[in-house]
Structure 1
Amino acid sequence: MDLLGYDDLDEMICIPVLDTLTPESQEKYKEFMKEFAHKGEDGMTLNCTARRSDDQELDVTMSVSAATFDGETCTQIVLQPEHSDAELEEKLQEISSQDLLTGLYNRQHMMGLLGKAIAEAGKSNQTGALAYIALDNFLSMKTRVGISGADILLGDLASLLREKAGENMTLARLSDDAFCMMCLPCDEKSMEQQCETIRKAVEDHLFDINGHTVPLTVSIGIAAITENSPKAEDMMGRAHTASAEVKKQEGTAQGNGVLVYNPADYETLDQSNSAEAIQRALDENRFRLLFQPVINLRGEDEEHYEAFVRMLDKDDKEISPYDFLPPVGPSETTIKIDRWVILQTIKQLASHRSRGHNTKMFLNLTAETLQDKTFTPWLSVALKAARLPGDSLIFQIREGDASNHMKQAKEFTKALHELHCKISISQFGCALNPFNTLKHIDADYVKIDGSFTEEIQKNDDAKQQVKEMVKSLQSSGKLTIIPLVENASVLATLWQAGVNYIQGYYLQAPVPEMNYDFSEN
């Protein structure tokens, strides 16, 4: 308000952005916003001249970024007096490091700080600790309170974390349902005590959402930072693993606990979670493909499968190799797994189609492959070698990955469409504003998150939410899929909701062969 000379916030809110600029800058602003709408690059800047309420002119720098307000997509515009390039760069860096909803550090910045902390621990022989704070049953809660209600709760939780965390703690929001906390120097025991204080504070706190009290608990995993710590991605993976293990402990099946990661429980007794072990499994041909049918609920004669990968451990038990990689890497290993799955699937699918089947395959991609610029040229060669048409493959990207890497996902999906491949967004509905992803990503299919399958069997609100979601998706030309169909009782609800495809163990579990009899449907 002071910058533009207004005393009343309500008065300033009613003034269009254009009217705060000089006539010459108004045209520059229009072109600038068109460019931002086309590129979608957060942090784009424009030097222009603002007109204050007293008609004085002021040279300013305008920066724009995508944001949400009350659950709706909007554009955040920041006006600042023109600074030197160094000052401006510093300010933009500060903005780019923040999570817009909570004001805490975002995931990307936190990973950089974690890497520096690990290096400092090794250099000065210090110890520290990292805590992964996962919200229990977040999606179920969001279904009850709505997107705007979830925004309010996350903001309140961030304030509570700031209040309870010590001054030496660094806080960040990692994703929709996860925060983290780091300190250096400190010891593991102190962090455990601090996390127990936070756990109890969250459990006891009365989160008021639109007049309703919403209970919330958290599961916290702790990993020690020492001179022998692995790189940042693996460290975050350790804390994430401990957080997930809380629900496997006696008395905390629903979460609401604190657990310290003990490397001996994982690396010594079971070394299958290392990148080296996964590479050995690849070299020794201990990977297996499984296929699960995706059935057209509207009775159309189609054959679709989704491919899954399993790794045989040292006891010949099947496990998912992705489960043993940390949430953010290592990227080289993840990309190798993705390519192995895709190449082997292409070979088997080409053979299956040569026997008269017009089969199409859903293939899951990780965030690492999404950012790999060499992937689409490699895929083009693989398709030509197998003489397989591109439209027989449907590449599936998680909603969270697409949201976190929007620019790369937009370019990536465009390149895949040029190869005539199709695109599916999976785990849809988990983001705070899920439909915003579809404004940027040209998806052909949308797989709604499996948690909704469970929720629609429990309450009518979830049924109505899924019905409205399906209707909105189909009105924009998307084909909808509901996974995790485990019994017949849910089929009538899905049919009435207008769902296009279903998938789950009720139809068939993932198996090594593409042998489902689609004619039975």
Structure 2
Amino acid sequence: MAIEKKTIRLLILEDSQNEAERLVSLFRNAGHATRVHRITSSDNLSEALQNSWDLLISAPSSDHLDPSEAISAIRRQAKDIPVIQLVADNDSDTITEALTLGAQDALPQGEDERLILVAGRELANLEERRSRRAAEVALREAEKRCQLLLDSSVDAITYVHDGMHIYANRAYLQLFGYEDADELEGMPMIDLIHCDDQSRFKDFLKGYASGTGSTELSCAGVKPDGQRFQARMTFSPAAYDGEPCIQVVIRAESDNAELEEKLREISSQDLVTGLFNRSHFVELMDTAAQKAVNEGQVSSLAYVRTDRHSEIVSEVGLAGIDILLADLAVMLREHFGAGAQLARFGDDVFTLLQPGVTPEQCAEKLSPLLKKVEGHLFDVAGRTVQTTLSIGIAGLSEQTSKAQEVIDRAHRCADELDGNAIKIYNPADELAAAASRGNLVAMVQQALDNNSFRLLFQPIISLRGDSDEHYEVLLRLLNPQGEEVPPVDFLNAAKEAGLAEKIDRWVILNSIKLLAEHRSKGHSTRLFVHLSANSVQDQTLLPWLSVALKAARLPSDSLVFQISEPDAVAYLKQAKALTQGLAELHCKVGLGQFGCAINPFNTLKYLSVDFVKVDGSFSQDLSSAENQEALKTLLASLHAQAKMTIVPYVESASVLATLWQAGVNYIQGYYLQGPSQSMDYDFSAGDE
């Protein structure tokens, strides 16, 4: 995640001037302008906090000011300044303590690249919080202005929820002959409609609620004394005090009602075609977007562009093109019926909004129109002109909060066509475009959507004559150019984007499928599958896994779920619950990257673990007697606890004797076989 390229106002609590300057140079070398203040005392911090700052980076300790006091000072003054606490080592207790005191993150001193990434995340979060606060202030101001406008409006306006009045302005009270809004509280709106029109009013509301009816109704209102009057009502979706409701604007019909109606129609019409104009259509789209979000009502937008528009203008002139567009509008109206929400959206563009219709249904309805227009001979001042249509279609759903996004999507689809065709917006197209630009999150999402991750299998070989076959499952991702993406890169991107659990479940499901197929050929095979930190914390994993295993009819102990030691230490409580649950399902559990924690055996006290894979650092230099002794000591302690041990990164035959003497149960590495797309290792070769 890149830090936003603007000047970063940075506070640093660090006694060493040289180290402070080194931290600043990290940001500057990453291409970020930085304004810095180094804190030298409590008073100095108080003075600095009179100004605005974006980030505080604190050394593990300071003679001038304890880091916890700095965090407390920021809290006391209610300053929104994220704090990154550097710690002397990777001790989880120290990190937890820093987070408990109020730091946004804590990380070991010297991990410069990680510091820049964490700082980027916190600065982005800070920007989001600032934007949200600004939006909340703007919203409150807008609501105040709206309330003043409502109260003083000459139009009678009410807000109705479930048929009941929840607000009415003065003009509304006067129109219906009430003196106080309290008199209307809890009164159904239908009680203010004359009995002769109440049935029609109910039918209108049903149509409005379904999105298929009109938004306007003329009917008779009634006052407390029984006096009736004619009124024209306009309905639109709204929110009042945070609750969705209906806004009703009522105008008493005057002698000039016909003229007012005519003026209203003209203001919403395109003069050339008689269809809605752009501004009115955008209002219809906004209403449809609100209905999609609040009520789950789907709609479809068709962006209909006339092909060869500029060529036709050069042939017949502006007056001629107006004739053609007017004729085309007639064809559209005839094709869709009088109630269609059609508009002339631009010089060469018509738009169609269809509530309650999916994009696929919309395309089906539009297909005959393509042929109709293609075969039509337009008569323009005695000259025959032909054209075709390019139509882009996009849907509105509960995830559509902005109507303009839908218009843009349909517009892009139409632009991608060569003419006389229809294209439906597909999110996968944009995902593919982002993936081709190198966006890792898009690549991951695309791989999940298209089932295109690649699973590799690396054998885990027994040194003790175990006849079972063991493989570790490894995940690979190919970029659009067919090249492998480094796993650490795409897995980190997936974690940041909240996709880690989905990836784990994809791996589990596909591993189960391939394992069931492989075992059906007579193999006694067991797979080691990794679980991310996100899955360790996912309480829904165990019940989901139980269902998946039963459906596959696999022995539960044919899967070993492997957790890394760093994740187990960071989420020990969750890891304990997970390993207990896996044991109850009769699945095996492995603990990987073992031996690097300050007290690794403390972790084993809490976890139900069958296999322990030592960290690769223990096997990388076994020519040293000291390293051999360290590995033997570690393995002896594990074997004393009856743990099955695995040593990875076995790259040569020279270490095999050492590993055998150390009592290792299993080995893994490129010397034996690298990861492969098939489970084809000959396990019997080592039994001689």
| Counterpart for residue 481 of structure 2 | 315
Distance 1:224 1:464, change over 3 A: closer
Distance 1:228 1:498, change over 3 A: closer
> Post-superposition shift, 1:270?
5.7
> Post-superposition shift, 1:273?
2.7
| Counterpart for residue 471 of structure 1 | 636
1:163-178 to structure 2, matched below 5 A, reads 170-173=84-87, 176=90
> Post-superposition shift, 1:519?
0.7
Distance across 2 between alignment mates of 1:463 and 1:161:
42
| Counterpart for residue 248 of structure 2 | none
> Post-superposition shift, 1:301?
1.7
| Native 8 Å contact 2:653 2:671 kept in 1 | yes
Distance across 2 between alignment mates of 1:339 and 1:129:
37
- Of the three residues 113, 116, 120, the one matched with 1:222 is 116
Distance 1:219 1:281, change over 3 A: closer
Distance across 2 between alignment mates of 1:441 and 1:273:
34
2:425 paired with 1:499 = no
| Counterpart for residue 334 of structure 1 | 500
Distance across 2 between alignment mates of 1:268 and 1:130:
35
User: Tell me, what secondary structure is at the counterpart of 1:455?
Assistant: coil
Distance across 1 between alignment mates of 2:586 and 2:630:
33
Letter in 2 for 1:329: K
| Native 8 Å contact 2:530 2:561 kept in 1 | yes
1:333-371 CA distance string (max 9 Å, x none): 000000000100000000000000000010000111011
Distance across 1 between alignment mates of 2:510 and 2:63:
46
1:150-195 CA distance string (max 9 Å, x none): xxxxxxx93479999996964244972899999xxxxxxxxxxxxx
User: Tell me, what secondary structure is at the counterpart of 1:329?
Assistant: helix
| Counterpart for residue 614 of structure 2 | 448
| Counterpart for residue 272 of structure 1 | 439
2:517 paired with 1:351 = yes
Letter in 1 for 2:90: D
Scaled by the length of structure 1, what TM-score is found?
0.53
| Native 8 Å contact 2:579 2:608 kept in 1 | yes
Letter in 2 for 1:406: L
1:244-259 to structure 2, matched below 5 A, reads none
| Native 8 Å contact 2:457 2:474 kept in 1 | yes
Distance across 2 between alignment mates of 1:496 and 1:175:
34
Distance across 1 between alignment mates of 2:632 and 2:516:
36
Letter in 2 for 1:352: H
- Of the three residues 463, 468, 471, the one matched with 1:297 is 463
| Counterpart for residue 170 of structure 2 | none
1:16-165 to structure 2, matched below 5 A, reads 128=54, 158-159=60-61
Distance 1:158 1:130, change over 3 A: closer
Distance 1:316 1:170, change over 3 A: closer
User: Tell me, what secondary structure is at the counterpart of 1:440?
Assistant: coil
Distance across 1 between alignment mates of 2:684 and 2:121:
61
User: Tell me, what secondary structure is at the counterpart of 1:414?
Assistant: helix
2:295 paired with 1:401 = no
| Native 8 Å contact 1:278 1:321 kept in 2 | no
Letter in 2 for 1:171: Q
Distance across 1 between alignment mates of 2:565 and 2:572:
10
RMSD, aligned α-carbons: 3.8
Distance across 2 between alignment mates of 1:502 and 1:227:
39
Distance across 2 between alignment mates of 1:227 and 1:409:
26
2:645 paired with 1:480 = yes
1:2-33 CA distance string (max 9 Å, x none): xxxxxxxxxxxxxxxxxxxxxxxxxxxxxxxx
Scaled by the length of structure 2, what TM-score is found?
0.40
Distance across 1 between alignment mates of 2:112 and 2:122:
29
| Counterpart for residue 237 of structure 1 | none
1:398-439 CA distance string (max 9 Å, x none): 011111111111111111111110011000001000000000
Distance 1:401 1:271, change over 3 A: same
2:684 paired with 1:519 = yes
Letter in 2 for 1:128: D
| Native 8 Å contact 1:126 1:227 kept in 2 | no
Letter in 1 for 2:517: S
Distance 1:352 1:414, change over 3 A: same
Distance 1:344 1:322, change over 3 A: farther
1:223-238 to structure 2, matched below 5 A, reads 223=117, 230-231=124-125
> Post-superposition shift, 1:455?
3.3
> Post-superposition shift, 1:492?
1.1
Structure ranking higher on relative contact order (CA contacts 8 Å, 6+ apart) = 1
| Native 8 Å contact 1:129 1:222 kept in 2 | no
Letter in 2 for 1:305: Y
Distance across 2 between alignment mates of 1:268 and 1:348:
27
| Native 8 Å contact 2:444 2:494 kept in 1 | no
> Post-superposition shift, 1:229?
5.2
| Native 8 Å contact 1:272 1:324 kept in 2 | no
User: Tell me, what secondary structure is at the counterpart of 1:513?
Assistant: coil
Q: Bigger shift: 386-395 or 223-232?
A: 223-232
Distance across 2 between alignment mates of 1:367 and 1:227:
19
Distance across 2 between alignment mates of 1:407 and 1:433:
16
Distance 1:284 1:322, change over 3 A: farther
Distance across 1 between alignment mates of 2:575 and 2:552:
26
Letter in 2 for 1:517: D
> Post-superposition shift, 1:329?
3.3
Distance across 2 between alignment mates of 1:289 and 1:227:
31
1:283-335 CA distance string (max 9 Å, x none): 12320000000000123322000001111112111225553344893474000
| Native 8 Å contact 2:504 2:531 kept in 1 | yes
Distance 1:480 1:430, change over 3 A: same
Distance 1:508 1:367, change over 3 A: same
Gaps of 5+ in 2: 1-50, 72-82, 100-108, 129-433
Distance 1:489 1:384, change over 3 A: same
User: Tell me, what secondary structure is at the counterpart of 2:596?
Assistant: coil
Computing the radius of gyration from Cα coordinates, the structure with the larger value is 2
Aligned positions, number: 307
2:654 paired with 1:489 = yes
Letter in 1 for 2:438: Q
- Of the three residues 426, 443, 452, the one matched with 1:286 is 452
Gaps of 5+ in 1: 1-124, 134-156, 183-197, 200-216, 235-266
| Native 8 Å contact 1:130 1:222 kept in 2 | no
Give identity over the alignment, percent.
Answer: 47
Distance 1:270 1:158, change over 3 A: farther
Distance across 1 between alignment mates of 2:63 and 2:642:
42
Distance 1:290 1:128, change over 3 A: same
Distance across 2 between alignment mates of 1:325 and 1:162:
41
